[in-house]
Amino acid sequence: MASSSNPKRVKTIGHKKDKGKKKKSNIFSHHFLSEKHEAHFQVVQNRRLLMERKVEMLILEAPHWMRILHYAEPASIAIVKEFYANARHFSDGEEPFFSYVRGRRVPFDAATINTFLNTQWPEDTASCEFAAARANRFREVDFGDVERVLRIQGGHIYRNLQDKPLNIKRAFLQPLYKYWVVLLHANISPCSHVSDLIASRAVLLYHIIQGRQVNLGQCIAQEIFDCAQTANSKAPLGHPSLITHLCELAGVDTSEAPFERPRPTINRAYYIQYCLLDEAGLPIPPPQPPRRHWRRGQVPPQQPLEPDQQASPDYPASHDSFMMMEM
């Protein structure tokens, strides 16, 4: 059965008993908080689902993060899109972090998500350091230390004309952190463009690697909320499997087909192919200084290369420096 989410790329699961049944065109009309939400559903209908991925191994210990590696299951496309349609805010007074599906209130706040993922965040725990950095627009983040901790090989954080950090090329990260980037882009901060790691996600990875206070539920709740509010009609809908689970916990019947399957599992074979072998035989360019931007008419001065910029040893696979844990 073809998927209304992304018919050309993703296999879905259907029920034979649904075949031949005609559905009324206004089946969703009484399932929305308001007429605005029902109208917004037509926009959401054109957005595809960006499914999560299961993770069979992790190359860095992350206490209490086990559930996020394994919860991905097929998601009901209709349920997820109805959830996102009702999670959209049309006024300032609306309560954040909850939606409405099939007549039931579905919370997706930090506490609810942490409970589902078994990553409880005690009330007496200090505030999430990543959330605090994000609230301050990352102004106080030492991006030099971010580069040092992530051990960027042959590259740097790209910046704009105002020296604002933009992104890091994934190819410049070590295999360990490439693997973590895949997990971030799949199950925490969904993104379909994975060749770059934008500055905010680089800071999140930095906090995780450093073992700092990261409220996983808060991060995911904010991602879902932001996804629901975006004006980009082509932006994919993240966390479909998690949302289906949350709807089921709220008492919603999530058995309606079609379903969309999780994306391929992240496992040892994936790590070897996409985190090690894709660059094992390729020389990584030497570290480059930040690019200077020259105005039209200006001619950049010609400077001779320093000896250490003329050649660089091949990047080692670093395979033996990491301990793999089979999950």
- pLDDT tens for each residue of 59-113: 555 557 789 999 999 999 999 999 999 999 998 888 899 999 999 999 999 999 9
Residue 119 domain-assigned? yes
If one counts every other C-beta atom within 10 angstroms of the C-beta of residue 251, the result is 13
Residue 295 domain-assigned? no
| Residue 287 or residue 185, greater confidence | 185
Residue 188 domain-assigned? yes
* pLDDT given for residue 70 in this prediction: 92
* Residue 198: pLDDT over 80: yes
Residue 196 domain-assigned? yes
- Token look-up 């589902």 returns 116
* pLDDT given for residue 213 in this prediction: 86
Number of independent structural domains in the chain: 1
* Residue 326: pLDDT over 80: no
Within 8 A by CB and 6+ apart from 270, the residues are: 182, 264
Residue 240 domain-assigned? yes
CB 178 within 8 A of CB 275: yes
- Of 1-10, 211-220, 228-237, 278-287, minimum mean pLDDT range: 278-287
- Helix, strand and coil in the chain, % to nearest 5: 40, 10, 50
Q: How far is it, in rounded angstroms, from Cα 180 to Cα 156?
A: 18
- Integer-rounded Cα radius of gyration of the chain: 22
**24 pLDDT tier (thresholds 50, 70, 90):** very low
Q: How far is it, in rounded angstroms, from Cα 66 to Cα 119?
A: 9
% of residues, the chain, pLDDT over 90: 52
> What are the structure tokens assigned to 309, written together?
């910029």
* pLDDT given for residue 65 in this prediction: 79
Residue 15 has phi, psi (to 5 degrees) of -110, 135
Count of positions (residues) in the chain: 327
- Among 106, 228, 225, 242, which Cα is nearest to 187's? 242
State which residues form the domain around 186: 12-16+26-290
| Residue 31 or residue 20, greater confidence | 31
* pLDDT given for residue 306 in this prediction: 44
The model scores a pTM over 0.85: no
If one counts every other C-beta atom within 10 angstroms of the C-beta of residue 3, the result is 20
Average pLDDT over all residues of the chain: 80
